[in-house]
Structure 1
Amino acid sequence: MSPGPFSALSRFLGHFRWAFMPLGLLALIAVGVHAAADTLDDRLLVVVDLVDAAFDRVVGRYNLTAPLVDLLSLERRTTLARALALLWELMADGVLALPALGYREETPAPVRSPLALPRGNTWRALLVRCLRKPTTMRWIRPLATALVAVAGACTVARLVQGSVYLSWRELLGEGVADGVARGLALAALLGLLWRLGWRAVLRNLQHADAASEQHARGLAQAFVYGLPGSALVALLALAAALDASPLWSFVR
């Protein structure tokens, strides 16, 4: 039986997985980072207000610097908070999303001898090194990627849910349209995590493992190397988990 046109198309597109798979991982992480950064505007505005209030108290003590009290208006503080959120987002993209471009799929290997050494980049080997030689990068980067990937998948799922509900509400009625929209959104969420989410985590784990093996020699370096970037994405990942991942909204 000759293969159908869809099989031929699938094989043809399979030749380009080396290109669209890394781009898919990059897009999922970038969407998740953006969703998390969107929740930080108000928090950063509070921080900017506190800093501005402290600055006003200092400069307001002296006649020479008193005019600086009105240096930052509410509009300027809001703009500054948004600029800080954007800068945070771009730096987090550089830390988490750019390594995804190095994702490569290994070709299936022939049957190996039981005496052969395990591959160095398998899940098991990577996790063993995380436990035996823990570093800041090995632990924080993959966990942050996982939380951000879930936030990105939730963002896409919400878009699917809203689009389907608004398009089919008049045709099927609100109840049926809501059920169908939730079902398709849940399918999109699970599909993205199944096809892209775990690969994004694996790629960042591989990147963190390689960097740790090369640079993090000794206890002090294991903690310090990559610490600024890890701290940056850890806070963003926390925001992604708390405010940008409404998992229960798709089932309740």
Structure 2
Amino acid sequence: MPLGLLALIAVGVHAAADTLDDRLLAVVDLADAAFDRLVGRYSLTAPLVDLLSLERRTTLARALALAWELTADLVLALPALGYREETPSPVRSTASLPQRNAWRAMLSRCLRKPTSMRWIRPLATALVAVAGACTVARLVQGSVYLSWRELLGEGAADVAARGLALAALGGLLWRLGWRAVLRNLQHADAASELHARGFARAFAYGLPGSALVAPLALAAALDASPLWSFVR
């Protein structure tokens, strides 16, 4: 189960990062244009104008996307390896809360003692988990359609492919998606309880990692989660 959670998050992060290549290339182009204007003013540095060709800028943008993706994996996917199943105890105690009460307690702390980790990390995990499930579902849909269209005909193969894709999407979110969110909420909650005391520390603790994964989560929601494509 921990490996499954890690894989789902990693696939979702990759899907989100894949949509940012062109945007990163645009940023690199803007930085290169500013650099060219600066060095082009002086004859001594003018030869540096051609330092970054289009091919090099493309390679740099891809390297930045890869570094961003791997760092986001460390922030979101690595805590999934700490996931453990617990057998509910028949005796109610503060040391062994039922799962529903554990959810309620953590959500209550999110409202009473909010931190950047408690809010951003679980939400980002939810969005990339949906993106990862959509990626797997698209793979199922394409594979089934291409394999079955000659056997069943295009119409029947399309219906079967969409049905199996929706089943894969729902199954992944049911079996893995909510557990990935729960595990990141547990990790963020425990870290916040230990280290984030006071408003300033609550806001600053874990903020670099949260700020790094927030744009990827937004890209996962807007560009890498075509949920309606499975039913249109």
CA distance in 1, matches of 2:98, 2:66: 37
Does residue 164 of structure 1 match 2:138?
Answer: no
Does residue 183 of structure 1 match 2:151?
Answer: no
**What is the aligned partner in structure 1 of residue 185 from structure 2?**
205
Q: Is the 8 A contact 2:89 2:98 kept in 1?
A: no
**What is the aligned partner in structure 2 of residue 220 from structure 1?**
200
Structure 1 length-normalised TM: 0.89
Larger Rg: 1 or 2? Answer: 1
Does residue 70 of structure 1 match 2:50?
Answer: yes
% identical aligned pairs: 88
Does residue 119 of structure 1 match 2:97?
Answer: yes
- Counterparts of 1:33-48 in structure 2, within 5 Å, are 33-48=13-28
CA deviation after TM superposition for structure 1 residue 120, in Å: 9.2
**What is the aligned partner in structure 2 of residue 234 from structure 1?**
214
Spell out, residue by residue over 1:156-197, the C-alpha distance to the aligned partner (whole angstroms, 9 max, x if none). Answer: 000000000000000000000000000000000000000000
Does residue 246 of structure 1 match 2:215?
Answer: no
Spell out, residue by residue over 1:185-226, the C-alpha distance to the aligned partner (whole angstroms, 9 max, x if none). Answer: 000000000000000000000000011011101000000010
Query: Structure 1 87/120 Cα, relative in aligned 2: closer, same or farther at 3 Å?
Result: farther
CA distance in 1, matches of 2:91, 2:205: 38
**What is the aligned partner in structure 2 of residue 12 from structure 1?**
none
**What is the aligned partner in structure 2 of residue 84 from structure 1?**
64
Structure 2 length-normalised TM: 0.97
Q: Which runs of 5+ in 2 are unaligned?
A: none
Runs of 4+ in 1 over 2 A off after TM superposition: 116-121
Any idea what SS the aligned residue of 2:176 has? helix
CA distance in 2, matches of 1:119, 1:208: 18
Q: Is the 8 A contact 1:119 1:125 kept in 2?
A: no
CA deviation after TM superposition for structure 1 residue 36, in Å: 0.5
Q: Which amino acid aligns with 1:34?
A: H
Q: Which amino acid aligns with 1:158?
A: R
Q: Which amino acid aligns with 2:113?
A: K
Q: Which amino acid aligns with 2:176?
A: L
**What is the aligned partner in structure 2 of residue 144 from structure 1?**
124
Q: Is the 8 A contact 1:92 1:233 kept in 2?
A: yes
CA deviation after TM superposition for structure 1 residue 110, in Å: 1.1
Aligned-residue RMSD, C-alpha: 1.1
Query: Structure 1 162/130 Cα, relative in aligned 2: closer, same or farther at 3 Å?
Result: same
CA distance in 2, matches of 1:111, 1:175: 55
Aligned length: 229
**What is the aligned partner in structure 1 of residue 75 from structure 2?**
95
CA distance in 2, matches of 1:233, 1:211: 17
**What is the aligned partner in structure 1 of residue 40 from structure 2?**
60
Q: Which runs of 5+ in 1 are unaligned?
A: 1-20
Q: Is the 8 A contact 1:120 1:126 kept in 2?
A: no
CA deviation after TM superposition for structure 1 residue 107, in Å: 1.1
